[in-house]
Amino acid sequence: MKHKIFAGTYEPAIRAGVHVLEFDSANGTIVHKASLKGIERAGFLALHPSRRWLYATSEVHDGSVVAVDLFGGGMQIMNSQPSGGADPCHLSIDATGKWLFVANYTGGSIAMMPIHENGALEPMSDFVQHTGHGPNPDRQEKAHAHSITIDRSNRFAIVADLGQDQVFVYSIDLVAGKLKLHGAAHLAPGSGPRHVAFHSSHKWLYVCNELGNTVTQLSWNATDGTLSVVNSWPSLPESWHGSSTMADIHIAPDGTWLAASNRGHDSIVLFHIDAVTGALTPNGTVPSGGAVPRNFAIDPSGAWVLAGNQRSDLIQVFSAAGGNLAITNNQIGVPSPVCILVA
Q: Count of CB atoms within 10 A of residue 26's CB?
A: 10
Give the percent of the chain with pLDDT over 70. 100
Q: What is the pLDDT of residue 263?
A: 98
Mean of the per-residue pLDDT values for the chain?
97
Distance separating alpha carbons of residues 333 and 316, to the nearest angstrom: 9
Instruction: Kindly report the number of other CB atoms within 10 A of residue 2's CB atom.
Output: 10
So what's the pLDDT on residue 74? 85
The Cβ-side half-sphere exposure at 66, using a 13 Å CA radius, reads 28
Which pLDDT value is given to residue 160?
Answer: 99
Q: What is the mean pLDDT of residues 169-183?
A: 98
Mean pLDDT of 70-83: 93
21-72 tens-digit pLDDT: 999 999 999 999 999 999 999 999 999 999 999 999 999 999 999 999 998 8
- Rounded to 5°, the CA angle 79-83-86 comes to 130
pLDDT (tens digit per residue) in 236-257? 999 999 999 999 999 999 999 9
What's residue 312's pLDDT? Answer: 98
pLDDT at residue 40 in the model: 98
Q: What local confidence, expressed as pLDDT, does residue 133 receive? A: 98
Per-residue pLDDT, 119: 98
**Model pLDDT for residues 309-335, shown as the tens digit of each residue:** 999 999 999 999 999 999 999 999 999
Sequence-distant (6+) residues with CB within 8 A of 201 are 255, 278
**pLDDT score for 85:** 98
Question: Which residue from 323, 227, 236 is spatially nearest to 274, judged by alpha carbons?
Answer: 323
Tell me how far apart the alpha carbons of residues 128 and 84 are, in angstroms, rounded to a whole number: 9
Average pLDDT over residues 202-216: 98
What residues have CB less than 8 Å from 109, skipping those under 6 apart? 84, 85, 103, 127, 128, 129, 130, 143, 145
pLDDT per residue over 130-163, tens digit each? 999 999 999 999 999 999 999 999 999 999 999 9
What is the pLDDT at residue 73?
77
pTM: 0.97
Q: Is 90 exceeded by the pLDDT of residue 117?
A: yes
Concatenating the DSSP letter of every residue in 120-134 gives -B---SEEEE-----
Percent share of the chain, pLDDT over 90: 98
